Amino acid sequence: MNGSKFDWGAARDVLPLLLHGFLTTLLATVLGTLVAAVLGLVIAIARRAPSRLVTAPVRAVMEFVRSTPLLVQLVGAAAVFSSVDPLVIGIVVLGIHYATYTSEVYRAGIDAVPRGQWEACRALSMSPRRTWQAVVLPQAVRNVLPALGNYAISMFKETPFLAVITVEEIVFEARKYGSDHFAYTEAFTLAGLIFLVASYPTSLLMRKLEKRLGH
């Protein structure tokens, strides 16, 4: 880096490192989204249980997770589970954190299923399991897909927090290269552009999906 000029040589050198870090970022996002989607559905169903022995603990855990910063959760989990791979910790923490939000999305989707369909299932003597699998969940999931996609994009943009627990994602690589070569401008500029190139088209696709599903 020379003065305030952008060093294209440094940009060329750091790009492969950032792309490698991007793969880790993408992996954390995809797996974290899967955890959030599955766990969020489990939470949404558990909150409809008739017993407070189930609903009360679930709500307590949700409030705790949603009331504490993601950064604190990551650092705390890394300290408690120090022998676990940081990437695994990051994926699990991201998944659990966002599951508390996706559960609300699922709840709204389930509540949107017309009451008459629940009554029709009972009239046909369908078991609760069959009712959920064949009638309720297909409609609920279809209704909430755009919202789930938006949460996935939000998670992608929050993966830089994983750098604090030494996950070698894209921002970790940018900071390391900048520190080693005094080229923070080039490293972080390219990192930001990679985030933009990856997230903006996805945002456009989610908007199209929302329109197609009538949201």
- List, for residues 69-87, the tens digit of each pLDDT value: 999 999 999 999 999 999 9
Cα separation of 160 and 192, whole Å? 11
Cα separation of 170 and 172, whole Å? 5
76 SS3 class: helix
5 SS3 class: strand
- Report the percent of the chain where pLDDT is more than 70: 96
Cα separation of 70 and 64, whole Å? 11
- Report the percent of the chain where pLDDT is more than 90: 64
Residue 181: CA atoms inside 13 Å, Cβ hemisphere, count? 21
Domain boundaries, the chain: 27-170
pLDDT at 201 over 80: yes
CATH topology of domain 27-170: MetI-like fold (1.10.3720)
Query: 56-70, 95-109, 115-129, 142-156 — which is least confidently predicted?
Result: 115-129
Q: Which residues contact 181 (CB under 8 A, 6 or more apart)?
A: 1, 10, 13, 14
Give the model's confidence band at 213: pLDDT under 50 very low, under 70 low, under 90 confident, else very high: low
